[in-house]
Amino acid sequence: MDQLELFDLPNPCIGVCQSNNRGYCMGCLRSRDERFNWHQKPAAERARILKLLEQRRARRDAARLAGKPDASLEADQPPSTPDLFGF
């Protein structure tokens, strides 16, 4: 059992509700579809989104360390030929 399954899944919103040029929220990193009706989504869907957000944060942080823009949030899957940081 994953630890996320033991607790109610919180809304990841941090109150910075602005979208970047790719449509991801600059605060919580969710797409519009992921933000829409958060509390009405099934727990499994919310857990899946929270896992995606962890991956997006890691890619964003790695890109920033490498001096790259936040283009790492363009897709949830890395390209077929990733560079050193998996972009």
Q: Which two tokens stand for residue 68?
A: 């790259």
Q: What is the pTM of this model?
A: 0.69
pLDDT for res 7: 62
Determine, yes or no, domain membership for 52.
yes
Number of domains in the chain: 1
Rounded distance, CA 5 to CA 51, Å?
A: 12
Determine, yes or no, domain membership for 5.
no
Determine, yes or no, domain membership for 24.
yes
User: Structural domain of residue 26, as residue ranges?
Assistant: 13-68
Q: Which two tokens stand for residue 76?
A: 């949830």
Q: Cα Rg for the chain, rounded, in angstroms?
A: 14
Is 56 strand, coil or helix? helix
Residue 9's pLDDT band (cuts 50, 70, 90):
confident
Determine, yes or no, domain membership for 32.
yes
pLDDT digits (tens, 9 = 90+) for 52-78: 999 999 999 999 999 886 655 554 544
Determine, yes or no, domain membership for 78.
no
Determine, yes or no, domain membership for 4.
no
